Amino acid sequence: MCRAAARIHEEAAAASPGEIPVDTKAPNPPNFTLQKPEYRCLDCIGAWRYCEECVVADHCGTPLHRIERWNGLMFSLSWRVSSLRHMRDQATAFTFQLLKHYHQSNLASKTAAHDYHKCLLRLSDPIQPHKIPSAYHQFVDMMRQWRALQTFQSSGKLDSSEVRRGELAYTCPACPHPGINIPSGWEDHPNQ
- Domain range annotation of the chain: 3-84, 96-162
Count of Cβ atoms closer than 10 Å to residue 1 Cβ = 14
The pLDDT, as a whole number, for residue 68 is 83
Q: What is the DSSP string of 89-143?
A: -------HHHHHHHHHHHHHH---HHHHHHHHHHHH-SS-GGGSPP-HHHHHHHH
The pLDDT, as a whole number, for residue 91 is 65
Q: Point out the residues of the chain with pLDDT beneath 50.
A: 1, 18-30, 82-89
pTM over 0.85: no
In whole angstroms, give the CA distance from residue 62 to residue 52: 15
- Continuous segment of H or E residues that includes residue 145: helix 136-155
For the chain, percent of residues with pLDDT exceeding 70: 74
The pLDDT, as a whole number, for residue 24 is 44
The pLDDT, as a whole number, for residue 168 is 80
Q: What is the DSSP string of 55-102?
A: HHHHTTT-TT-EEEEE-SSSEEEEEEHHHHTT-S-------HHHHHHH
The pLDDT, as a whole number, for residue 16 is 53
